[in-house]
């Protein structure tokens, strides 16, 4: 929790004066779809980071089979697919976007009840 949650909070506090003085800047946090949709094998991960076994599965293009069955694209996302969203959020064109959740998840959360 210290590394995955508290560090983000502390870094934001330290960066705030610098970002404010610069007149622009972005902080983009990445987390898991487990915070939006139920991933039974990763309940603790919803508040922290991926367990090592899940990371190893993602590196090899596999994941929890139940999760992939629910994802319309039937695969895990590629780093370039996620990084494109992060890059957009760091552009001036997105400067009016604040405090939002973007699910870059291949459609996994499309059927999640509000």
Active site residues: 45
Sign for the CA dihedral angle at 27, 83, 67, 6 comes to negative
Token digits for 24?
């622009």
Residue whose entry in the numeric block shows the structure tokens 């319309």: 72
CA 16 to chain centre: 21
Token digits for 8?
């983000």
């Amino acid at each position: 929790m210290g590394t995955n949650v508290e560090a983000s909070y502390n870094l934001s506090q330290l960066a705030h004066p610098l970002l404010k003085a610069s007149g622009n800047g972005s902080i983009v946090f990445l987390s898991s779809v487990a915070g939006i949709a139920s991933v039974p094998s990763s309940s603790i991960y919803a508040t922290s980071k991926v367990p090592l076994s899940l990371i190893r599965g993602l590196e090899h293009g596999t994941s929890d089979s139940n999760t992939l069955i629910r994802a319309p694209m039937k695969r895990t996302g590629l780093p370039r697919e996620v990084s494109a969203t992060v890059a957009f959020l760091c552009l001036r064109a997105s400067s009016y976007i604040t405090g939002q959740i973007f699910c870059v998840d291949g459609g996994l959360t499309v059927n999640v009840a509000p």
